[in-house]
Each structure stands twice: as structure tokens, then as C-alpha cells.
Amino acid sequence: MLDLRFVRDHQQEVAQAMKNRNAKWDGAKFSKLDEERRSSIAEEESLQAERNSLSKNIGKLMAQGNKEEAERVKEQVRVINGKLDVVSERREKADKALRDLLLATPNMPDATTPVGKDENDNPEVRRWGTPRDFEAEGIKMQPHWDLGPQLGIIDFDRAVKLAGSRFILLGGLGARLERAIINFMADTHVDRGYKEWWCPAMANAETLTGTGQLPKFEDDLFKTREGMYLIPTAEVQLTNIHAGEVLDAADLPLKYCAYTPCFREEAGSAGRDTRGLIRVHQFDKVEMVKYAKPEESFDDLESMVADAENILQLLGLPYRVITLCTGDIGFSAAKTYDLEVWLPSYNNYKEISSCSCCTDFQARRANIKYRDPDNFKGTRYVHTLNGSGLAVGRTMAAIMENYQQADGSIKVPDVLVPYMGGIEVIGPEE
């Protein structure tokens, strides 16, 4: 959430930032609500001061035996209390409306985030690896949605029977490969200094509000009858672990990771990526989250991107890194890098990780602060960062397609062989 005072003092800057983000911003509404709130507070304080002054006199008058005058003053106090009720209600209403407005307003993009309209304006930063030339190898490339059923490791039809469209059913070595990828990713991040957590797959509304999924993106979430939500990413839980807490500067940055199943309604993606593992309602993901000092957070973002790249490099999967422009950046993010893995079936790169610095936007919503007595008095909001490390289903799809062999089998990447119990090739199930 944006700081109220910042918005008040930098309205033109905020308006331009929202325009760059293709986001709606009603500056006139903000100013009106802000003025209503401030005038109500001033009137409230004036009435309270008057009431307190009169209340002091009541005791004196009673002590002097002037009951008639005391009763007159009591009546004045009762009138003031009635006015206070009205003013307090007006202030509370303005407070709520102002908070609702700010809760629906996205983060300010960092100055280093390129200005652009949509994904077509995202500049490429670098590439790693060289995509295979299947034609030169004399191999007819098969997409993972064909390879999986042929090998007996993915059953799309039975997944539809069990749950519906955009769900998957993994069997045999497909299930084992999913577990292998998860364990490999989690172990690798732990080796690079992340603390692993095992989180609930459900969250309450307050937790989802803290990271920015609520209230704006409720339609993208699965909700239970009890008012709980299935999490769309472990970012929700990892970022809110310290909600309402004050951290010590000496402990920053905190580096957390977690595997969780993730659930997304995908309400705004009808007709997109309907085949295979790319866009489904339930998927596995290993997530990274950092709590950082404001002056270090963008350096921490670069190192988080390197941690995600490390997974792809160890797997030997070609990828590229892009910077998201203002028109494509996520709601809570100030700056974002996307990692896109090469998928032969698309003859293109597809997102497999998104790493973002959210500055103090989420920390302000979740009330996460830190103290650093050597450098400042009191407390300040931390900066939060999050990144996929990686999306497991998309990683599996990339492995299947990039490591397929002429006979239709799939070579297991060397780093996954120990996690596969020594299995080096996935062939048709007998």
C-alpha cells in the first residue's frame, strides 16, 4: 500500500506512475476523501478538547455545591458527545474509503523500470544456453502434451474425469520426476542460504491482503465456504510470516523458500495455453522470499534472479531474462525480472520465474518493520522481495521437450538422476 502522506504530497507523480502502469487513479476522489478525513480529525480533536475542559469544571462545580450549573455543563457535554458521534462516524467512513482506495492502488514502479504499454515493450537483458536444433539432429520434436501420454507419465483425460479441465494427473516416473524437481530446487536454495519452510496451502483474507492479492484479485482465487482461500503462491505465506512484527537490522536480509501446491482460478486467461502443463488450476512451485533493508533491496533482487538462474543452468535449460515494463509489471512490484525458459513446442521462450522487489508496499500492508538503532530512531518498513525458484510444472515441460530423444524417451538431466533413484532415461511404461 502506498504511504498516505507520500500520495498527498506527490499527486502528480502518482498520477503519472498509474498512467504508466495502465492503472486507474482518481486523484480528485483521493483529495476529497483526504480532506474529509483531515477536517473530521481536526473537528474531532476540537470537540474532545472542549468536552475535556467542560468535564473538569463539573467536578469543581459539584464540590462547590453548584449542582444547577453542574447539570447545565453536563448537558453541554452530552450535546458535544452527540456531535462527536456524528463527526467520528464521518471520519471512520472517510478513513475506510481512503484505505479502500489505497488498497486498490498498485505500487509505484521504480525509476529503473522501463516505461511501456505491455509485454511487447519488455526489454531483454541476457540469454543463456542455445536451443537444440531438432531438425539438424533428424528428430521430429514432440510437444510435452504428446510425449507425456505416450510415455504413460501424464494422463490429461483422467485428470478431466477426476477434477475438470486444466488439471493434471501424473503417474509412475512422471510423479517421481515432479518430486525430484521439487526436492532438487528446495535443496539447491537451502545450499545458497535460504531457510526452508513448510506452509499451509490455505490462507485467511488478512494474509492475502498483506501481499496484495486482496481485495483487487479475489476473482483469481479459490475460496472456501468458511472464507479461507487456497494460496496462489507460497509468497503469500512466506511474506506474512513476520506480519505485525519488528525485525532486527542485523538479521536482514532474511532469505526464505518453500514448496507449496498453488491454486489459481485463471479467470482472465480464457483460451490461453489450454494444452499441457503451462496454465493449469493447480501446480507445484518452489518460491523464494526476502526481507531486506531498503538501501540493499535492489541488490538483493539481482542476487535472487541469480538464484533462479542457477536452477535453470544446473538443469541445462536455455533461457532468457527480461525486465518487465510499467504496463506489464505486477500489482505489488516496483521492479520485476522474468526468466523465460525455451520451449520447443512454442518455438519461443515462456515465463518460468518472476522475481520482484516490492519495496515497502507489502510491508506497509502487513505492518512489517525493522529497527536499526545504530542508524535511526524508532522503526521503518522493510522491503520485501519474491521470486519463483521455479514453477515445477513448467520446468517439467521444459525438461521433457528439451531432453527428448529420437526414440521418444526423455533423458533425465544429470543433476536430477540422484533424485530419480539413479534412473537416467524415462521410457514408455511397461
Q: Which residues are catalytic?
A: 264, 279, 351, 354, 394
CA distance 95 to 89: 10
CA distance 367 to 425: 49
Whether 312 and 388 have beta carbons less than 8 Å apart is answered as no
CA distance 408 to 426: 9
From first CA to last CA, the distance across the chain in angstroms is 55
Whether 255 and 378 have beta carbons less than 8 Å apart is answered as no
Name all contacts of 262-269 with Cβ < 8 Å and 24+ positions apart: 262/231, 262/232, 262/233, 262/234, 263/201, 263/221, 263/222, 263/230, 263/231, 263/232, 264/220, 264/221, 264/222, 264/232, 265/219, 265/220, 265/221, 265/222, 266/166, 266/220, 267/219, 267/220, 268/219, 268/220
Whether 98 and 33 have beta carbons less than 8 Å apart is answered as yes
Let me know the angle formed at the C-alpha of 306 by 303 and 308, rounded to the nearest 5 degrees: 115
Whether 323 and 302 have beta carbons less than 8 Å apart is answered as no
Q: HSE of 312 in the Cβ direction (CA atoms, 13 Å)?
A: 32
Phi, psi of 106, rounded to the nearest 5 degrees: -70, 170
Burial class from Cβ neighbours inside 10 Å (0-12, 13-18, 19+) for residue 286 reads: buried
